[in-house]
Structure 1
Amino acid sequence: MTTLEKEVSPHFDDFLFDWSTKFQFLVGGYGSGKSYHIALKIILKLLSEKRTALVVREVYDTHRDSTYSLLEELVIDLGLEGRVKCMTSPMQIRFPNGSKIIFKGMDKPAKLKSINNISLVWLEECSEIKYAGFKELLGRLRHPTLKLHMILSTNPVGEDNWSFKHFFKDEMNNRLVLDDAELYEKRTVVVNDTYYHHSTADDNFFLPESYVAQLDELKDYDPDLYRIARKGHFGVNGEKVLPQFEVQPHDEVMDTIRRTVNPLKRVGMDFGFEDSYNAVVRLAVDCEKKILYIYWEYYKNKMTDDKTAEDLKEFKETRELIRGDSAEPKTIEYFKQNGFNIRGAKKFQGSRLQYTKKVKRFKKIICSDRCTNVIYELKPLTYKKNKRDEIIPDEFNIDPHTFSAIWYALDDYEVSDAKSLINRYKHLTGRG
């Protein structure tokens, strides 16, 4: 067998020959070399074993100038062009032992159905592929005798992407596979049947210094892109609406509320049905310390008013005042007629912005870990941007129904209300 020589980055030495796991997830910044070393790894594997490898991107036509071009370049660099054939119509790479690499795009899913005996799949830029596509490819990964492998590579995107939720954390479903901070520290981690690998431009010794310097400059004018491109870290893309939002264990939140003097308690409700949700939240405000506590939630859609009323019947017994969306007077009237203490919150021109500013003025927003939908919507909530890349102060990356419920709950709560409560507390306790 011919000996092949190729200089590689030391951080990828172990990765090149580690086939111990079914999944291999590579995440890294720009220019880290992950795609290059994946391509080299696949070529070495297919030279040593007869396999059919499938390389997938979201759009088929993007292969030509990326994965196919990279693999073809490596074939030439390794001196294999006489033995390994790179074909362009259709794109395919054939090896002398019968191995081959085929290329497909998720934009043409019908063409995946004819694929058989795939024992190795590479999902390049996997974050661009839909979660349903990933699961479809898992079903295509099968072979009667060979061990199966799937390699996924991506630049880190938002934590709302399926790749982060599946391989790291899904807060909505209270699922933790691996804390991404642990990966950034250890650089390689194996969990269950997945090998994780993190890389940055510092790991690629073949990059020119000018390229790295260009990435460093991002820190001064585009912190989101700096996090992705230079640090290779997942995170929230965009400017957070509520940077003071934090999650605490439910019992701790309730204990703190019990120890708060004269907490202002409120209930807010946003209405929805098909694509939006009925969202109800219970809040408590520490008016002196300017802390908002969120400790209870209800969150369902495709519910008729009678079913929602049945779910919320405890409010008929407690007689808590619910402040709801005044844009739904018929729904509010229905709940009134069924014994609920409910009224519409004030809405006016510019009220979205005013309500948002009101919530942002809290020094802290502490949410019970039981309020999973509040956490899911508000922890990563960011502003939308206009065509000039400027934030729109009353529009967000999602439609946050729990945020609307909080707005309505805080209807007619103003700083003056807080001051009067503080003065009343001082009068009663004799504290000046």
Structure 2
Amino acid sequence: MAQTTLRIETPGWAVPLLKPARYKGAYGGRGSGKSHTFAEMLIEAHIMDPASRSVCVREVQKSLSQSVKRLLELKIEAMNAGAYFEVQEAVIKAKKGDGAIIFQGMQNHTADSIKSLEGYDRAWVEEAQSLSQRSLDLLRPTIRKPGSELWFTWNPSHISDPVDQLLRGEAPPQDAVVVEVNFEDNPWFPEVLRDEMEYDRSRDPDKYAHVWRGGYVANSLSRVFKNWRIEEFDTPDDVVHRLGADWGFAIDPTVLVRCHIAGKKLFVDYEAYMIGCEITDTPNLFLTIPDAESWPIVADSSRPETISYMRKNGFPKIMPAIKGPNSVEEGVEWLKSFDIIVHPRCRHTIDELTHYSYKVDP
């Protein structure tokens, strides 16, 4: 076979996924290009190793039309890689070597039938938010060949979904590379989808946050904040900045948010966010927000030692919050009195506003 040079344009967010890892995952909203990038990665892997064997998995697959087979066929054509593959009705085979890509639904498998996949090099779970715990428990120990990989792409649905608990939970596997990717990370995001995205952003913040930004599904009836929207804006030079900090460690994030008020509008323009942030790293984290060291910062008063450290390390205007018996409720009501506009770069603020909710009786 004549040697062919393939040129694959890899978006920046996918670069960490090019290195070997047991678990590889990409989650986020519509139009991010997750599936297209993983499809190209899969085709490239099979060209480099014609003996490679992969299974593309969904929780339910009643027909091949529900699989990523058609996407892979389009990628083979677009990448000018037809000389390497024989596309059959139910499988994509290597023309040189005994490699193959097959397509299966996990719901059809039993503990015995899934043993047929034990020699496979990788499994790609598309729409992984729908994967049940049973299916995940079957799949993980089955794909066990040395150097084998488990790939997951998904649009998050609920924090309790098994794939989120595995790869975004409190203790994800050590050998895991997981990236968040949304439409703004896709250099080939089409204008027709941009129009759809802007329509949802202007009319339905819950839908926009879930569909386009990969946020979890929100219960609009229990949602506390309904007085906000996502919108790009430029911050005037003459505003008074208000900054608030919360301390975290372990699984809780350390956070700094910057905002300003104009009439009855509250604009959130920058955020800093890190899980597992050491106290010595906190000054540099806060410095990612422009001029944060120059403005007063109201911080969680439960950590006076952290406030003291920050004062001695570049943030002399930081002060503890004054908390009363109803400070949380009063703070919520104060925020609800504004029309809140959040800049799209403040992803975690968007997530908090979307999911901050009243407790609902079961």
The TM-score bracket by the shorter chain reads 0.5 to 0.7
Match of 2:116 in 1: 114
Aligned residue type for 1:32: S
User: Could you tell me how far apart the structure 2 residues matched to 1:32 and 1:78 are?
Assistant: 20
| Same amino acid, percent of matched pairs | 19
User: Could you tell me how far apart the structure 2 residues matched to 1:381 and 1:207 are?
Assistant: 30
Q: CA deviation at 1:31?
A: 1.3
2:24 is equivalent to residue 24 of structure 1:
yes
How many residue pairs get aligned? The number is 243
Match of 1:54 in 2: 55
Counterpart contact for 2:27–2:156, Cα < 8 Å: yes
Counterpart contact for 2:126–2:154, Cα < 8 Å: yes
Q: Secondary structure at the match of 2:129?
A: helix
Q: CA deviation at 1:363?
A: 4.5
Instruction: Summarize the Cα distance change of 1:68–1:382 in structure 2 as closer, same or farther, 3 Å threshold.
Output: farther
Q: CA deviation at 1:211?
A: 1.3
2:195 is equivalent to residue 213 of structure 1:
yes
Q: CA deviation at 1:160?
A: 2.5
Report Cα offsets for 1:141-191 as digits up to 9, x if no partner: 022xx411001110122222222222223xxxxx354xxxxxxxxxxxxx7
Counterpart contact for 1:53–1:119, Cα < 8 Å: yes
Aligned residue type for 1:115: L
Report Cα offsets for 1:386-429 as digits up to 9, x if no partner: xxxxxxxxx95x72xxxxxxxxxxxxxxxxxxxxxxxxxxxxxx
92-101 vs 78-87, which moves further:
78-87
Match of 1:130 in 2: 132
Instruction: State which structure, 1 or 2, has the greater radius of gyration over its C-alpha atoms.
Output: 1
Q: CA deviation at 1:52?
A: 1.3
Match of 2:152 in 1: 152
Counterpart contact for 2:125–2:152, Cα < 8 Å: yes
Match of 1:430 in 2: none
**TM-score normalised by the chain length of structure 1:** 0.50
2:68 is equivalent to residue 43 of structure 1:
no
Counterpart contact for 2:56–2:126, Cα < 8 Å: yes
Q: CA deviation at 1:76?
A: 1.8
Aligned residue type for 2:48: S
User: Could you tell me how far apart the structure 2 residues matched to 1:61 and 1:154 are?
Assistant: 19
Root-mean-square deviation (Å): 3.3
2:243 is equivalent to residue 241 of structure 1:
no
Counterpart contact for 1:87–1:93, Cα < 8 Å: yes
Instruction: Summarize the Cα distance change of 1:83–1:167 in structure 2 as closer, same or farther, 3 Å threshold.
Output: closer
Q: CA deviation at 1:64?
A: 2.3
Q: CA deviation at 1:291?
A: 6.8
User: Could you tell me how far apart the structure 2 residues matched to 1:14 and 1:59 are?
Assistant: 30
Q: Secondary structure at the match of 1:151?
A: strand
2:69 is equivalent to residue 68 of structure 1:
yes
After TM superposition, the structure 1 = structure 2 runs for residues 400-415 of structure 1, keeping only pairs within 5 Å, are: none
User: Could you tell me how far apart the structure 2 residues matched to 1:166 and 1:127 are?
Assistant: 11
Instruction: Summarize the Cα distance change of 1:216–1:176 in structure 2 as closer, same or farther, 3 Å threshold.
Output: farther
Q: CA deviation at 1:129?
A: 0.9
Instruction: Summarize the Cα distance change of 1:219–1:62 in structure 2 as closer, same or farther, 3 Å threshold.
Output: farther
User: Could you tell me how far apart the structure 1 residues matched to 2:18 and 2:325 are?
Assistant: 57
User: Could you tell me how far apart the structure 1 residues matched to 2:168 and 2:16 are?
Assistant: 20
Match of 1:4 in 2: 5
Q: CA deviation at 1:34?
A: 0.8
Q: Secondary structure at the match of 1:60?
A: coil
After TM superposition, the structure 1 = structure 2 runs for residues 373-412 of structure 1, keeping only pairs within 5 Å, are: 399=362
Counterpart contact for 1:117–1:141, Cα < 8 Å: yes
Counterpart contact for 1:57–1:63, Cα < 8 Å: no
Counterpart contact for 2:124–2:151, Cα < 8 Å: yes
Structure 1 gap segments, 5+ residues each:
170-174, 178-190, 250-254, 256-287, 293-361, 366-378, 384-394, 400-432
User: Could you tell me how far apart the structure 1 residues matched to 2:168 and 2:46 are?
Assistant: 30
Counterpart contact for 1:58–1:105, Cα < 8 Å: yes
**TM-score normalised by the chain length of structure 2:** 0.58
Q: Secondary structure at the match of 1:114?
A: helix
Counterpart contact for 2:26–2:152, Cα < 8 Å: yes
Q: CA deviation at 1:39?
A: 1.0
Counterpart contact for 2:92–2:102, Cα < 8 Å: yes
Counterpart contact for 1:9–1:203, Cα < 8 Å: no
